[in-house]
Amino acid sequence: MFRKITSLTSFFSFIVLIVTSVILYIVPQGRVAYWADWSLLGLSKEQWGDIHICTGVLFLAVSILHIWLNWKPILAYLKKKAGEANFTSPAFFISLIITLFVAFGTLAGLPPMKQVLELSQDFKAMGEAKYGIPPYGHAELSPLQVFCKRMGLDLDKAVASIKNSGIELESAKESIKSIADKAGLTPKALHEIILKDQPGKDSSVKTITTAAPNKQDQSHSPGAGIGRMSLENYCAKFNLDLNTALGILREKGVVVDKDTTIKEIAGALGLDSPRAIGELLNP
């Protein structure tokens, strides 16, 4: 009876891990999911992650218990009939090689692991395009007054816009997420409401188009292959003034810091490629 419970628990927890792994594989980046209040089957990204972690601990526990209950059969399987350790069999080495290849191949960027990771990034990029990117990390947790200050918005007009939309607002110290939750909105939708009456602001996503560089010059143009580079490193690489770059981006309605990646900035501006940042910051 105890062996059956252990085996079935291991099986069912493994199924749950497969499901949560697939969902976490395709879910948008955390900052995007929180900003758009993303959910699947009524569960948020954080809740799916919690299920994955706790079920993983359960699977680990019952797996250890399963090994302990079946230790003798496992040893028998690894031994030859003569009683010697069966660590020289082809099956043993093939299994070990496959496991090591996947583990170290992932770090080395070898196929097909590289393609698996790239596909996950493609799913997350689709999420960014669909749900939008917050103006800065965990913007939804900022109190309204702090959010307006960081975004260069008029607090009084923001409060008026929120109240005029029929949204309850007790204090400007309430977080963006708290205000949005009470109204049944996403932080992104509340942000669009706040921007409606702001002078010189547009609630729609800004799209900046730039001419595509010639193929022969593409590898040498500022912005080529720098999606994961921070703004600070980008400016250092192309001899740009960091404060000037921050000012240019602020004028475009994007508030970032020196650690924000070029890919994130491009997404916030609605650009198709991080390469276009080079044209923006270094015309």
DSSP 3-state of 34: helix
Check: CB of residue 46 under 8 Å from CB of residue 11: no
pTM, two decimal places: 0.58
Which domain range does residue 258 map to? 215-281
Q: Is residue 210 part of a domain?
A: no
The residue out of 195, 225, 241 marking a domain boundary is: 195
- The verdict on 234 and 270 lying in the same domain is yes
Is residue 227 within 8 A of residue 263, CB to CB? The reply is yes
| Mean pLDDT score of the chain | 80
Answer yes or no: do 179 and 274 share one domain. no
Residue 249 has pLDDT above 90, yes or no: no
Q: Do both 86 and 168 map to the same domain?
A: no
Domain end (from 83, 100, 131): 131
55 and 115 inside one domain: yes
234-243: average pLDDT: 82
Task: Say if residue 268 is exposed, middle or buried (CB neighbours under 10 Å; 0-12, 13-18, 19+).
Answer: buried
Is residue 179 a part of any domain in this protein? yes
Judge whether 168 lies within some domain: yes
Question: For the chain, what is the domain count?
Answer: 3
Do 11 and 35 lie in one domain? The reply is yes
pLDDT higher than threshold 60 for residue 104: yes
Position 9 scores a pLDDT of 92
Asked if 74 and 163 sit in the same domain, the reply is no
- Residue scoring higher pLDDT (270 or 122): 122
**What are 191-236's pLDDT values in tens digits?**
989 988 787 655 544 433 333 333 333 333 343 457 778 888 888 8
41 and 126, same domain (yes or no)? yes
**Inside any domain, residue 173:** yes
Sorted by sequence, the CB contacts under 8 Å of residue 84 that are 6+ apart come out as none
Residues 96 and 187 grouped into a single domain = no
Q: Is the residue at 34 inside a domain?
A: yes
Q: What is the pLDDT of residues 153-202, one digit of tens each?
A: 899 999 999 999 999 898 899 999 999 998 899 998 999 899 887 876 55
In a domain, 121, yes or no: yes
Using one digit for the tens of pLDDT, what is the confidence trace for 34-93?
888 889 999 998 899 999 999 999 999 999 998 998 888 777 776 654 455 556 667 778
